Amino acid sequence: MQEFTQAHTGTLSGFVEPERFSVGKSYRELHLHDISPHRGELPAGIIWPISTEEVSNILAWTYRNDIPVTPWGVGTSTEGNPVPTRGGLVMDLSKMDRVLEVRPQDLQADVQPGVLRKELNRQTGRYGLFFPPDPGADATIGGMIANNASGVQTIKYGATRDYVLRLSVVLPHGEVIQTGCAARKSSSGYDLTRLFVGSEGTLGVITEATLRLAGIPAYHLAVTVVFPDLRSASEAVAMIIGSGLEPAALELLTPGLIGLMNREKGLGLVEQPSLFCEFHGISNITLKETSDLAKEICENCGATDFRHGFEEGERKDLWRARHEAWETIHRAHPNRETLIVDAAVPISKYPEMTVFSQLLVDERNVSGYVFGHAGDGNLHVVMAADPNNADEWSKLEEINDRIVRRAVKLGGTCTGEHGVGIGKRKFMELEHGRSYELMKRIKDLLDPKGLMNPGKIFM
Ligand SMILES: Cc1cc2nc3c(=O)[nH]c(=O)nc-3n(C[C@H](O)[C@H](O)[C@H](O)COP(=O)(O)OP(=O)(O)OC[C@H]3O[C@@H](n4cnc5c(N)ncnc54)[C@H](O)[C@@H]3O)c2cc1C
């Protein structure tokens, strides 16, 4: 469906204030793509609800009228997750952006889905608390819940999934339900909250969430470690974790990416396989002990350089550079799009995966950069090419395919954190077998008309 009739437009604009519904071309085009090359079908209109009641009224009507609906946060996904594939209505949740309540004594906050991660942390920071999942991008909480996003600190603090206690969800036909509770633990029946976490807007619209928070760590220590080769850097990962050191971040970087970071940000880093680590602690004394042990372990694994004691500004620059890896790669390859590998494996298999991936990139001679959240066994390869050049792009697809197949064979997954969207649908059967059928049956149960974010997760 590419255009709404006048009757559709009249009804939809009646659900919200006039400025919160648009059939303007520029708004529709803005909601046609995330950061991936995936393109869908131009939506017929965009609506910005501000309450659960509005979402419910809109969905009850779209359901009756067979209109596809695609929820939208701020569109920072990497797999086409919020891209409308059958036109229809895009429901942009970014105006539901209130932190409803912070309860510092419970370490909890109630939020609307359009709250941005950094704004939430600004507000909870007043109480010495933060929401740890950190995908780098300033995403909405609703988008993070829907994708089960995570990031550099997942190794210590966990993924978004671990911070969602309670949800309000509007089901595809407009019914409002509450899942979970505000207790830290519960064994009460099926875990419906976890069903909606990672469902990518295919089962309903999240309109409110109760989140767990964590205390802001008092002391930080950043460390960079240089290794002679990729295998020894990757092998050190399991050794560091196995020693009980509990890093707050443990990232692998390879020379190609470090080179780009050096050129763009003047970091002066050694351009060899490296680990960036961060440790959080209750005092500088404990961090000094941690750092001494980490140094010993890394040197036993062949490390040739171990740097710590970064000034606060330097530490922030280092992590900013790591967070901006994708942007840096993108800027280094103007007029190219990126295909992002997001496989994850058990950490014992991480060395095999990183070496295999780098070999593929080198053999196929593509512009590709291997790095990842090593502590979680999460491997990224960001590859840049022109999607309109079939020869160039098919090489990237082939590499992605081979890495995912290897990861699944090793007990891993096609996506550690970005979600399935459009790009990873083709691997779902391979990874989940008969469970994929059960996922389809759950989808059919909640959305028998297939109207919620169609074309995602399922082919
Ligand atoms: C530079 C860069 C780096 C990134 N690094 C990481 C990383 O390290 N880790 C990581 O996990 N991700 C990463 N991402 C991906 C992205 O930031 C996350 O997936 C994020 O969670 C998307 O949030 P969003 O608000 O942009 O949601 P959108 O992209 O707008 O939507 C995401 C999905 O959620 C659905 N959705 C949105 N709101 C709702 C709602 N209220 N109810 C139901 N469904 C909803 C959409 O339909 C879609 O399927 C990165 C992105 C960029 C641009």
Phi-psi region of 231 (alpha: psi -120 to 50; beta: other; left: phi over 0): alpha
State how far the Cα of 455 lies from the Cα of 185, in Å rounded to an integer. 34
77, 94, 196: residue to mutate for ligand 1 pocket, most atoms within 8 A of CB: 77
Q: What is the pLDDT of residues 14-70, one digit of tens each?
A: 999 999 999 999 999 999 999 999 999 999 999 999 999 999 999 999 999 999 999
User: How many A from CA of 270 to the centre of ligand 1?
Assistant: 32
User: How many A from CA of 139 to the centre of ligand 1?
Assistant: 6
User: How many A from CA of 32 to the centre of ligand 1?
Assistant: 15
The answer to whether the Cα torsion of 109, 99, 187, 432 is positive or negative is negative
pLDDT band at 1 (very low <50, low <70, confident <90, very high): low
User: How many A from CA of 419 to the centre of ligand 1?
Assistant: 8
β-pairing verdict for 99-103 and 337-344 = unpaired
For residue 302, which of 189, 226, 213 has the smallest C-alpha distance?
Answer: 226
Q: What is the pLDDT of residues 285-313, one digit of tens each?
A: 999 999 999 999 999 999 999 999 889 99
Is residue 267 a contact partner of residue 324, using CB atoms and an 8 Å limit? no
Q: How much of the chain, in percent, has pLDDT values that exceed 70?
A: 100
pLDDT band at 8 (very low <50, low <70, confident <90, very high): very high
Residue that is written with structure tokens 């409110």 in the block:
208
Which protein residues are within 6 Å of ligand 1, measured from CB?
34-35, 70-78, 81-82, 93, 113, 135-137, 139-140, 142-144, 146-147, 149-151, 200-201, 205-206, 326-327, 417-418, 453, 456
Q: How much of the chain, in percent, has pLDDT values that exceed 90?
A: 98
Is residue 354 a contact partner of residue 372, using CB atoms and an 8 Å limit? yes
State how far the Cα of 47 lies from the Cα of 51, in Å rounded to an integer. 12
pTM for this prediction: 0.97
Counted residue by residue, the chain has a size of: 459
Atom of ligand 1 nearest to the CA of 145: 21
User: How many A from CA of 200 to the centre of ligand 1?
Assistant: 9
Which pLDDT score is estimated for 357? 98
Radius of gyration of the chain (CA): 22
Query: 177 forms bridges with which residues in the sheet?
Result: 169
Q: What is the pLDDT of residues 306-352, one digit of tens each?
A: 999 889 999 999 999 999 999 999 999 999 999 999 999 999 999 99
pLDDT band at 2 (very low <50, low <70, confident <90, very high): confident
Which pLDDT score is estimated for 371? 98
What are the structure tokens assigned to 198, written together?
Answer: 């990672």
State how far the Cα of 91 lies from the Cα of 108, in Å rounded to an integer. 27
Mean pLDDT along residues 85-107: 98
Q: What is the pLDDT of residues 370-415, one digit of tens each?
A: 999 999 999 999 999 999 999 999 999 999 999 999 999 999 999 9
Atom of ligand 1 nearest to the CA of 149: 11
User: How many A from CA of 9 to the centre of ligand 1?
Assistant: 28
State how far the Cα of 13 lies from the Cα of 10, in Å rounded to an integer. 5
Is residue 119 a contact partner of residue 129, using CB atoms and an 8 Å limit? no
Q: What is the pLDDT of residues 182-235, one digit of tens each?
A: 999 999 999 999 999 999 999 999 999 999 999 999 999 999 999 999 999 999
Q: How far is CA 316 from CA 134, 220, 245, 278, 312, in A?
A: 15, 11, 22, 11, 6
Atom of ligand 1 nearest to the CA of 200: 49
